[in-house]
Structures are given as C-alpha cells and as structure tokens.
Amino acid sequence: MSIVVTGATGHLGRHVVEQLLEKVPADQITAVVRIPEKAADFADRGVRIAVADYNAPETFDGLFTAGDKVLLISGNEFDKGRVGQHKVVLDAAKAAGVALFAYTSAPGSLTATLADDHRATERLILESGVPYVLLRNGWYHENYTENLAPVLEHGAVTQAAGEGRIASASRADYAAAAVAVLTGEGHENATYELSGDTAWSFAEYAAELSRQTGREIAYNAVPLDVYSGILTGAGLPGPLAEILAGVDVSIEKGELAVTTGDLSRLTGRPTTPVAESITAALKG
C-alpha cells in the first residue's frame, strides 16, 4: 500500500509530501512527477518517485496498486483539456482497485468558468464507482501574497471584486486537510467544502499591507474589462485572463466567502490568517 500524490513537485504537492513525511514512513509515499530531477530531495529522503504525465496515458499504466490511496491534484494546464487529463489518472486508479481517490476540486458555491473542469471531473469520479473524497479547496492566500511586487510598486491592490469577501487559507492548510484524509479513516465518499475560518475584503487586505509595510496601499476596485486588460497586459493569455477575471465576479457575489469550518475540523487547528501569509511573503 502506498499513498500516491500526483503533481508532487507543484506548489500544493510539495506541501502535501512534506507533511506526509511527518506522518508516515517515506517508503509508503509515491510522488508522481513529470521531471524527476525536481523531486531529487524527496528521493534522497526515501520517497518513491514515479515519472508520469497527464498528457501521456501510458505513463500511468501499472503506476497504482490495489489498496493505494491516491491524491489527484488538479492540473493547471487550462489549454490542454484538464478533464481528459484527470480521467487518465482516474481510469488508471479504477483499474488498479485503489482504496481511496482524493481530488482537489473547487468550492461548490463557485459558478465562475474556473469551476467547470472541476465539476466535470467530479461527475467522472462519481460515475467511476471508486471510493472517493472531494476536497473542494477554496482560494489560496498565495494567489495574492506571491505577487506583491506590482502592488508595492504601484501602491495599490487592483481587482474587479467590488466589496466581495474571500475566505481563503494557506496552501499548507489545504495540504494538511489532504494529509488528514490520506492518513485517516472514514473519509470514503465524502465531500469537504474547504475554506479559511475568516473572510476578508480587498480593502482590508490593502489595509493590512499598509500596516505591515508602513506604506499607503490603496484598494483600487476597477470594472471587469479593465481588470482583464491589466491581466493580459501582464502577459497572461486572453482566455486565461478571462477565467481569472471571472473569479472576481464570483468574489463580488460572495461565492468565495463561504466559511464551513471543514478545513479547520479536518486539520484540527485554526486556518492561517491572511496577515500571517502577508508577513511571510514580505520576508521572502
């Protein structure tokens, strides 16, 4: 039996593997990666490394074994048919007879286009008959704190979310929930709506940045088309810019402000405050 993590060298995957290493022996963990060199540090610690690619179905042949617990971290290649990529992993897991198939999905409240691939993947999972867990991850603090350079340069947080609020949490928080499910019992066929304990607004976010930097950081609420233009101007492809801008529409509607408590219950601790992630980002 192994705990298998796909996308193991990605932002979330690394957190998951690191936290698994604190809970189970390294030889019980399989890290699925596309580039093995990026997982050399895990290999050095005894983690099994499996090389596979969502875009190459044959690379998943024989990768899973009966009794494995699998975490499918959703792909981030929006232009390569993510649902088809996810089905490759699901089909291989079903064929092997895995004990649990966990998937990092999107909040059930999210109606933005970003959620479409997740809903389609969820349907495939339910239709497959494999024992599953849907980890409906909310928004990450790092979606904002990892890109502070332009905010500090221009002295403004610019979004198209109006006065909407976000119940975000840190990647490490969401990773801890995945680890709890992968190492615990009784999670079969469960759906968890994961989010931070406290929702915040961009005005509050800007105020916290101002407090921590000692500089005046404003919140600049702009129309959707203006924000899309800012994203494309920053180098994002038009379709991706539209998808991300569409999330701001959902934020304004309150779709990412839902606080269920599932995340803190699974991890057994409060979620990380956004102020703490801001501090870490400013130090980094």
Q: Where are the domains of the chain?
A: 3-137+170-194+260-269
User: Could you read off the pLDDT of 23-64 as tens digits, one per residue?
Assistant: 999 999 999 999 999 999 999 999 999 999 998 999 999 999
Ranges under pLDDT 70 in the chain: 78-80
The pLDDT, as a whole number, for residue 80 is 64
The pLDDT, as a whole number, for residue 239 is 86
pTM, rounded to two decimals: 0.96
| Mean pLDDT taken over the chain | 96
The pLDDT, as a whole number, for residue 240 is 86
Q: Which residue has the tokens 């992993």?
A: 89
Phi and psi at 240, nearest 5°, equal -70, -40
Question: Which class would CATH give 3-137+170-194+260-269?
Answer: alpha beta
User: Could you read off the pLDDT of 118-146 as tens digits, one per residue?
Assistant: 999 999 999 999 999 999 999 999 999 99
- C-alpha distances out from residue 47 to 29, 68, 174, Å: 6, 15, 21
The pLDDT, as a whole number, for residue 276 is 98
In three state form, how does the secondary structure of the chain look? Answer: CCEEECCCCCHHHHHHHHHHHCCCCHHHEEEEECCHHHHHHHHHCCCEEEECECCEHHHHCCCCCCCCEEEECCCCCCCCCHHHHHHHHHHHHHHHCCCEEEEEECCCCCCCHHHHHHHHHHHHHHHHCCCEEEEEECCECHHHHCCCHHHHHHCEEEECCCCCEECCECHHHHHHHHHHHHHCCCCCCEEEEECCCCCEEHHHHHHHHHHHHCCCCEEEECCHHHHHHHHHHCCCCHHHHHHHHHHHHHHHHCCCCCCCCHHHHHHCCCCCCHHHHHHHHHHC
- C-alpha distances out from residue 284 to 140, 168, 274, Å: 17, 20, 15
